[in-house]
Structures are given as C-alpha cells and as structure tokens.
Amino acid sequence: MNLPVHQSATARRVVVSGASRGLGRAVARAFAANGDRVAVHYGSREEDARATLDSLEGTGHVLVGGDLSDPAGAADVAGRAAEALGGIDVLVNNAAVNLPHPLADTSYEDWAALWQRHVSVNLLATANLSHLAAHRMIDQGTGGRIVNIGSRGAFRGEPDHPAYGATKAAVHALGQSLAVSLAPHGIAVASVAPGFFETERVAHRLSGAEGAAIRAQSPFGRAGTAEEIAAAVLWLASPVAEWASGAVLDLNGASHLRT
C-alpha cells in the first residue's frame, strides 16, 4: 500500500511542548490527524491543555504538565511522556516565552530577569528536552525526528523583544549542531522560522492600523495561520524528510527574505 507523504505505517509517539493553545495545539492536532499518538505538554495552562487533548483525533493521547525551565522538570516531563506513550519517536520543541523588554524603556533588574527567563525556556528547555528525547530514540534504535520552532525574528531582529530574537537564533544553531551529531543514529533535526501568524494570543493585534501593517508585511496581504506552520512541522517530522535535516525553513509569506 502506498501511504500519503505524512502518514506512517504505525502510530508514532510524539511529544509537543507548549501545546496548551496556539501553534502547539495546531501541531498536536496535525499529528493526531495523521494517526500518531501525542503527549500534550503544558506549563501552567492546564485547562487549555485539556481542551487541546479533548480536541485530538484518535486515542492514546496523554497530558503532561511540568516546568521545562528547570532541568529536573524537563527530565520529569520527558520521562512521564515516554512512559505514557511507550517511547518517543518525535519531539516538537514549541514551548517559548516572548515578553517585551525594549532596552531604552526597561530597568536593568527587569532586563536581566527577562533575559534569564527567555534563555531558560526558549533555549535551555529546548536543549534539555532534545537531549532527553534523543537518548531515548538512540536506545530504541529506530531513529527519530526533532523539530524546533524558531522565528523570523532570529534573522531580522526584534527591537522590542531582543532576548526572544537572540534565543530563537540560538535554537536554529542548536538544531543544526544536533542535525550533524545525531544523523549517525538515524535522527533528523530541523527548525521552522515562522513570521507573524494568527493565534488567539495575538488576535487583538490584527485589528485597525496595526493589523493592516502586519498584513502588509507579506506580499500575500495576510498573516499566516497556525495550521500552515503545523503542516510544515508535520512534513519535517515525516519519514520522507530526512534529507531536510539541518534545515531552517522560512515560513513567513515572503515577508523577510534571507540571502
């Protein structure tokens, strides 16, 4: 039987961090619709995460809460997810914070604290979960996939969110380093770099003059959708996408072109 590009012959075991809403929810739904079993991670939004879990097609999905900014918390999340699913085949590092801190308007105390928060969640949690999941994939001996959620801001700059832009650039670099080191184990690692896309968290920004300016960033005259990003994540995690390992895939509607 010839399977569609995304579909696998058996259900994969997928961990999606930060899946309580927004892109994480869309990613979890995409994998579930593909026939995979999903561990829905959340940090503090348990009610939203349960809504994500309840919306997933199929069976065998699980809810896993925990603080990824703490290395012990990340280990606990990975361990409980692997136990509930029976292993890990795919990790999607989506959990992130993006809090404003323009330098000229931010006190040094707040600046230092916000940088620490962004590094702990956006970068170190991604690194730690990747280590934990990759070791399980290596022990399983069946290869695997890691897909990181980066950002267009890593390339064009984020003047009001500099720690976000910097940590997402680091996530891209981390993914490329892991792509080289994990390839001998059959583990492919790639990243996506979305531009602005619609979620409930940013819906208020899409009205009025600000919304018009955001849509005008792309020659398509619109913002992206979480479902479009999720579809790319699903492909990068698919069996046919091994040769994309090390890639950073721009998903910004031609709003920022790298050279």
Domain that holds residue 169: 13-251
The pLDDT score that the predictor gives to residue 10 is 82
The pLDDT score that the predictor gives to residue 5 is 45
Cα Rg of the chain, angstroms: 18
Helices in the chain by DSSP H: which ranges?
A: 22-33, 46-55, 71-85, 108-118, 125-140, 153-156, 162-182, 208-216, 226-236
Which is the catalytic residue, given 20, 42, 69, 164? 164
Which is the catalytic residue, given 151, 191, 238, 255? 151
Which is the catalytic residue, given 20, 69, 120, 168? 168
Q: One digit per residue, pLDDT tens: the chain, 259 residues?
A: 333 444 455 899 999 999 999 999 999 999 999 999 999 999 999 999 999 999 999 999 999 999 999 999 999 999 999 999 999 999 999 999 999 999 999 999 999 999 999 999 999 999 999 999 999 999 999 999 999 999 999 999 999 999 999 999 999 999 999 999 999 999 999 999 999 998 888 888 888 999 999 999 999 999 999 999 999 999 999 999 999 999 999 999 999 999 8
Q: Is residue 4 part of a domain?
A: no
Q: Is residue 100 part of a domain?
A: yes
Active site residue 164: yes
The total domain count for the chain is: 1
Per the document, the length of the chain is 259
Q: Is residue 7 part of a domain?
A: no
According to DSSP, the residues that pair with 62 across neighbouring strands are 39
Strands 187-194 vs 144-149: parallel, antiparallel or unpaired: parallel
Q: Is residue 154 part of a domain?
A: yes
Q: Is residue 1 part of a domain?
A: no
Q: Is residue 257 part of a domain?
A: no
The pLDDT score that the predictor gives to residue 9 is 55
- Nearest-CA neighbor of 106 among 155, 168, 158, 162? 162
Active site residue 151: yes
Burial code of 43-57, b = ≥16 C-beta within 10 A, e = fewer? Answer: beeeebbeebbeebe
- Here the CATH number for the domain that contains residue 229 is 3.40.50.720
Q: Is residue 258 part of a domain?
A: no
Residue pair 68/128 in contact (Cβ under 8 Å)? The answer is yes
* Predicted TM-score (pTM) of this structure: 0.94
